[in-house]
Amino acid sequence: MALHVLSGDTTFRSLRAVPRFAAELIKKRPLAFMLAGDKQRTIFSANNAQALPGVIVRAEGSPATGDPAIDEAYDGLGLTYDFFWNVFNRNSIDDEGMPLNGTVHFGANYSNAFWDGQRMVFGDGDGELFNRFTISLDVIAHELAHGVTEDETQLIYSSQSGALNESVSDVFGSLVKQYALNQTAEGADWLIGAGLFTDRVQGVGGNPAVLRSMKEPGTGYDDPVLGRDPQPGHMDDFVNTFEDNGGVHINSGIPNKAFYLAATNIGGYAWEKAGRVWYETLLDSRLRSNDKFQRFAQLTVENAKRYKVEAEVCDAWTKVGISVPMII
Ligand SMILES: [Zn+2]
């Protein structure tokens, strides 16, 4: 079960549901009153059953409930919305104000979180290996970022394009956390899923276990039950596998490390330049759904030119074994 969770965060496959949602929203709320930058969160509880969406437990603007899963989901969706709006002027997942719905207390001891195309769904964890899945803001933001990727480029969820899809979610997941904590690239921990594992899971070097490290891929955990974090941080260690959709959660370590290096090469707040370069690459019409690391890297360097950080971005990719000419 645990290994399945590690390799299987359930990705958005059907954001085509969005137009129907927008239509429902407009029915409920006249268009004239919908303002850009206006969050629309609704949190449901499945009450430990597996029926969706469950019952409404917190709507937009209502006060904290005291139930950590409900309040973390509400806050996490809000912080993710605020990040995309304030930093990139993006109005929700689809840039058209898509309402953000989340269901908590899904299933009994359910150890996963996923986006089903309409809402975020969070299990409470089994308490043995996993805590509740609302505990990490970057995990919430990671899943919502899959929606952004799906809406923009639909990077195919397999092999290198799938690893890019995963990496982009980690990039924005980490940036949402850094933005919320007001951390610079140097001050951030660059960890994904801190707090998600119970303290029974062994980390590396005396550190608590986490899902992934963007700074040092492969050092998230090293545990007798879970095994060792399999992520490489360099093309020399690229993992060829049929598992995990061709290693999408494994080889994402390589572009993750490239982003970390680009952000720290540039310095300051990672979302201001490095994050903007990655975001604009995701929106770049030249990016294709089956693109591999090399082409993605080239497009980041091209997009970096607008911010005069192409040398820093180029250097980052070189250090993970991807050589990009500065003049393309
Ligand atoms: Zn993912």
Q: Could you say which of 105, 142, 146, 249 is catalytic?
A: 249
Asked if 211 contacts 233 with a C-beta cutoff of 8 angstroms, the reply is no
CA nearest 7: which of 174, 293, 253, 243?
243
pTM, to two decimals? 0.89
Q: Which of 194, 192, 181, 139 has the alpha carbon at shortest distance from 269?
A: 181
The pLDDT, as a whole number, for residue 185 is 98
Does the CA dihedral 74-80-86-89 come out positive or negative?
A: negative
| Residues 126 and 165 grouped into a single domain | no
Tell me how far the alpha carbon of residue 203 lies from the centroid of ligand 1, in angstroms: 21
> Is residue 116 very low, low, confident or very high in pLDDT (cuts 50, 70, 90)?
confident
What is the span of the domain harbouring residue 84?
Answer: 2-152
On whether the CB atoms of residues 171 and 278 are closer than 8 A, the answer is yes
Query: In angstroms, what is the span from residue 68 Cα to ligand 1's centroid?
Result: 23
What pLDDT shows up at residue 3?
53
Determine whether 143 is an active site residue.
yes
Distance CA 51, CA 53 (A): 6
Q: What is the pLDDT of residues 57-104, one digit of tens each?
A: 999 999 999 999 999 999 999 999 999 999 999 999 999 999 999 999
What is the whole-number distance in angstroms between the Cα of residue 97 and the centre of ligand 1? 22
Mean pLDDT score across all residues of the chain: 90
If pLDDT is split at 50, 70 and 90, which confidence band does 300 have?
Answer: very high
Does the structure show a pLDDT above 80 at 176?
yes
CATH of the domain at 56: 3.10.170.10
* CATH code of the domain in which 183 resides: 1.10.390.10
- What pLDDT does 325 receive? 82
Q: What's the rounded Cα separation, in Å, for the pair 196 and 209? A: 8
Number of domains in the chain: 2
Residue 156 Cα to ligand 1 middle (Å)? 12
Environment class of residue 52 by beta-carbon count within 10 Å: exposed (0-12), middle (13-18) or buried (19+)?
Answer: middle
Question: Which of the following is catalytic: 72, 143, 152, 312?
Answer: 143
pLDDT tops 70 at residue 171:
yes
Residue 223 and residue 298 share a domain = yes
* Confidence (pLDDT) at 4: 56
At residue 6, the pLDDT reads 56
From the CA of 71, how far away is ligand 1's center (Å)? 22
In a domain, 325, yes or no: no
- CA of 295 relative to ligand 1 center, distance in Å: 21
- 62's CB contacts (< 8 A; 6+ apart) are none
Nearest to 105 by CA among 152, 73, 128: 73
Q: Give the contacts of 182 (CB within 8 A, at least 6 positions apart).
A: none
